[in-house]
């Protein structure tokens, strides 16, 4: 059986929670998942039914353009465990997660994707870890079925780059399949920022955190919604939101450039003092100007990214807009 390992040093020891049955709310953002939501509900029922807990499922329809909405309405009418929220348009996966956690009700919250890559059967292990005293349990993909070598390499490179500069201990190869105790959910919900990346925010809040490895299955319809552009956006958000290291690049590059210029001036002065003539260097001048201009443009670009994020935050626009809510109570026992 796969075991949960602590994420770093725990701030205080684990303590077993009371045996009273908690209410587990599973939050599932979906976007064009008409082929998988029904199968996911069936597997969730099979996985959660035997547990010593009451449970419910809250889907967040993130502006799907297929029949996902109709499928969710059918499931909501047929099963009192199933509720859903319809966002007014597509706001993105992290915003949909935010909407789900804001509207979810329970003692324990599990977030997962709707494409069947996150195995519902693992929730029993997550809940057992919560009973042992963990407040947050991340899942870590040890492998993914049908994942290409290029995707594996780029993902590995991205996580190593982010971990090298991040100010929080990001879990390598983590996903948005995790368990949050109510206290941890409330701590994350109280954070004021609008642009949220839960893979970084959940480690940031601290508490007793653990990691559970698992093997991710192939997508239900065999087609990933995360293309290169989405992966690049995810990498950029993680890189810039949890590290100020790019800003300090300006200091390092500027210091090195000043040192090189000072060394060159000393060289020219020494050459002149010994009667050496310095021939005009057209190519050297062009290269120097081009290099310094490129460095300036690069650093201005880095600053622009941070300014853009500041601009997004100070406007105080909500992360999402709810178009419709169909939410049962906590669901039957």
What pLDDT score was predicted for residue 114? 86
Q: What is the pLDDT of residue 188?
A: 87
Mean pLDDT of 237-243: 59
Which fold does the domain 5-242+320-326 belong to in CATH?
Answer: Spore Coat Polysaccharide Biosynthesis Protein SpsA; Chain A (3.90.550)
pLDDT tens per residue, range 292-305: 766 776 777 677 77
Higher pLDDT, 35 or 145: 35
Q: How far is it, in rounded angstroms, from Cα 127 to Cα 92?
A: 28
Give yes or no for residue 326 having a pLDDT over 60: yes
Instruction: Write down the domain spans for the chain.
Output: 5-242+320-326, 245-314
Please tell me the total number of residues recorded for the chain in this structure: 333
Residue 127 pLDDT grade (very low, low, confident, very high; cuts 50, 70, 90): very high
Q: State yes or no: pLDDT of 186 exceeds 80.
A: yes
Query: Percentage of the chain with pLDDT > 70?
Result: 67
For the segment 64-91, the average pLDDT, to the nearest whole number, is 89
**Mean of the pLDDT values across residues 309-330?**
77
pLDDT interval class at 205 (50, 70, 90) = confident
pLDDT of residue 333: 46
- In DSSP notation, 257-306 reads HHHHHHHHHHHHHHHHHTT------HHHHHHHHHHHHHHHHHHHHHHHHH
pLDDT-based confidence at residue 199 (cuts at 50, 70, 90): confident
CB 136 within 8 A of CB 202: yes
pLDDT the model gives residue 229: 59
């Amino acid at each position: 059986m796969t075991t949960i390992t602590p994420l770093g040093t725990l701030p205080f020891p684990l303590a077993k929670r009371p045996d009273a049955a908690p209410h587990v709310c599973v939050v599932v953002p979906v976007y064009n998942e008409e082929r998988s939501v029904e199968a996911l509900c069936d597997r969730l029922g099979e996985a959660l039914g035997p547990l010593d807990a009451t449970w419910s499922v809250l889907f967040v329809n993130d502006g799907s353009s297929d029949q996902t909405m109709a499928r969710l309405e059918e499931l909501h009418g047929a099963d009192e465990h199933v509720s859903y929220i319809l966002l007014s348009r597509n706001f993105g996966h992290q915003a949909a997660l935010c909407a789900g956690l804001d509207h979810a009700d329970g003692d324990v919250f599990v977030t997962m994707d709707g494409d069947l890559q996150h195995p519902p059967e693992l929730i029993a292990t997550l809940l057992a870890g919560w009973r042992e005293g963990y407040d947050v349990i991340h899942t870590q993909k040890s492998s993914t079925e049908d994942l290409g070598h290029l995707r594996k390499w780029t993902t590995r490179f991205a996580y190593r780059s982010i971990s090298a500069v991040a100010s929080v201990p990001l879990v390598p190869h983590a996903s948005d399949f995790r368990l949050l105790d109510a206290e941890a959910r409330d701590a994350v919900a109280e954070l004021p920022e609008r642009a949220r990346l839960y893979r970084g925010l959940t480690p940031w809040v601290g508490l007793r955190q653990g990691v559970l490895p698992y093997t991710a299955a192939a997508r239900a319809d065999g087609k990933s919604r995360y293309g290169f552009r989405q992966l690049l956006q995810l990498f950029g958000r993680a890189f810039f939101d949890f590290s100020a290291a790019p800003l300090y690049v300006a200091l390092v590059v500027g210091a090195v450039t000043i040192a090189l210029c000072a060394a060159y001036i000393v060289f020219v002065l020494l050459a002149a003092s010994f009667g050496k003539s310095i021939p005009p260097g057209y190519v050297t001048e062009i290269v120097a100007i081009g290099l310094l201009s490129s460095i300036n443009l690069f650093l201005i670009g880095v600053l622009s990214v941070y300014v853009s994020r500041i601009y997004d935050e100070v406007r105080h626009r909500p992360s999402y807009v709810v178009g419709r809510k169909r939410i049962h109570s906590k669901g039957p026992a």
